[in-house]
Chain A
């Protein structure tokens, strides 16, 4: 039923790729055991910067997961036929991303064996409780949708009628997962960098730029390595979505900058100062943030000018810098700067350790492995159908 046998038949190149991913995952697993044994002190986190790369990566990939809605909505709600071949790829991307998110949370927990406590002692006033519900629900929704749609395609029948409302449900649900994740941060009175009403809209805008950018790159990789071609129109439409989302995202960030700097409230401006200039001699994130800004600015030019956007080679480069820029902004800058300076105005350095980076790489590898397996199955199914 799950067609996994299709994932264990592949070329030499396929197996080298899968093999490398498995190596990274195994190494990460060993590092995780080391972390379990010794405690989270083996990471770079501290009493002041109590969330680090794990939670930051979780935040970023919730966005990537939510971005599946950008292919699902046009196709299922508005019958945009050009997306017909890639909606399932978006849904599989969502499944892989949400899994990565849950893994990031798991490796960040101090007592992971007690994770069931969230279910045994439900706490509706906690946003983390709702985050768990919405992420689990989204994972379940997309897993069911992908399975049903691919099975139906394989059998050559129309999908069962009940899947349509499930797919429609996944659209607002996608928005909800990233809104709830933003609520984790922007309801905290003591963290002024996060205490902004625009955080959820910002999250969604950057998600809808980063996710489709990744989807474009995945489509281009598949066109290069396999027979599958998503189609020029689909890719161009996705590029247009990335363009608008990126414009809105950069606009939102400029709004934040204006509010913090013009109001001159020292606490609000301090976090931006830490990111872009440095604070008390700590300039750890400054080069990263400026790289992100430059990549964002360049990407805007390359996206907005139609001639550049239509050039697919250039588009590939643009998608890479969009993804990287947003990954730095959300996956590094946002979380760390929320903690620096601390509410007592302390500046603490945060540098992820080898353990932390290996575990993060391992979770990426798990996500990439899932995408590989899912896309391989999809392609094999469609190959058989064509034959």
Chain B
């Protein structure tokens, strides 16, 4: 049967459009439905953490928050620091706040370890640069990661001014000491960082690091609730944040 090229293309186009429309309708009719988590976020939520450094430094060599995070999230352990994966870690004061040091710094600060993690910035440069929206800012303030979508371009790692992000240079599974079935591991080729324990928050529990601190040096709360403990602390104490001049509005505050 003879058919003109134009007619054939027209029929093919119409058939494809119908097929796509058909599939969409079938999907929509699929059984089951999802609902938003009960209770869920307060009217407005902006999660933040206030870290009291004097309380944190009380117990020398303490790593409880780091170990809790490692366990809760299957953080792999690499001997070569080039390939290390860390969501929360310690850094001496001079490197955590490079523009704030002076030669006559308080002995309490000089060389002392500070707890660093993703700042869950209000204006995160990593979110701005991600080409696939594999990282994005949730309404409750958490800068979240989708490890299914990440293409491993590491643009977010270049953009983060705080060194908070790690890349899986190898398959992390063989390097995980204690496999925790409650949280997935990641796979090689994706970037990861602290997710403020959003899976624990969904169950009404505080982040693992906050819960593990023996001195209660880390206080987690809602900045949009004027009565919250974090707001109380921010009213009472002078706090610093890392590199505030960059306009990222980090939400991890340090009482020094």
Contact = CB atoms under 8 A, between A and B. Distances in A.
Contact of A343 (B131, B150, B166, B243): B243
Contact of B83 (A46, A112, A126, A344): A46
Contacts of B99: 267
24 contacts: A40-B152, A40-B167, A41-B169, A46-B81, A46-B169, A48-B82, A51-B154, A117-B134, A117-B151, A123-B131, A123-B133, A125-B129, A126-B128, A126-B130, A189-B125, A189-B248, A190-B125, A190-B159, A339-B158, A343-B98, A343-B161, A343-B162, A345-B98, A346-B95
Interface string A186-199: 01111100000000
Contacts of A111: 150-152, 189-190
Given A189-B161, A343-B163, A343-B243, A39 B153 contact: no
Given A41-B83, A110-B168, A128-B131, A51 B163 contact: no
Interface in A111-132: 111-112, 114-115, 117-118, 120-121, 123, 125-129, 132
B189 A109 contact: yes
Interface string B162-206: 110011111100000000000000001111000000000000000
Interface of A: 38-41, 45-48, 50-51, 105, 108-112, 114-115, 117-118, 120-121, 123, 125-129, 132, 184-185, 187-191, 267, 338-339, 342-346, 348
Contacts of A267: 98-99
B132 interface: yes
A212 B127 CA distance: 38
A369 to B, nearest CB: 26
User: Ordered nearest first, which 6 A-B pairs have the shortest CB separation?
Assistant: A110-B152, A190-B161, A110-B189, A41-B169, A46-B82, A39-B188
Contacts of A345: 94-95, 98
Interface residues of B, number: 47
Contact of A39 (B91, B150, B171, B247): B171
Contacts of B161: 188-191, 343
A188 B157 CA distance: 11
B139 interface: no
B126 to A, nearest CB: 10
Task: Select the residue from B85, B150, B247 with max chain A CB neighbours within 10 A.
Answer: B150
Nearest to B171: A39
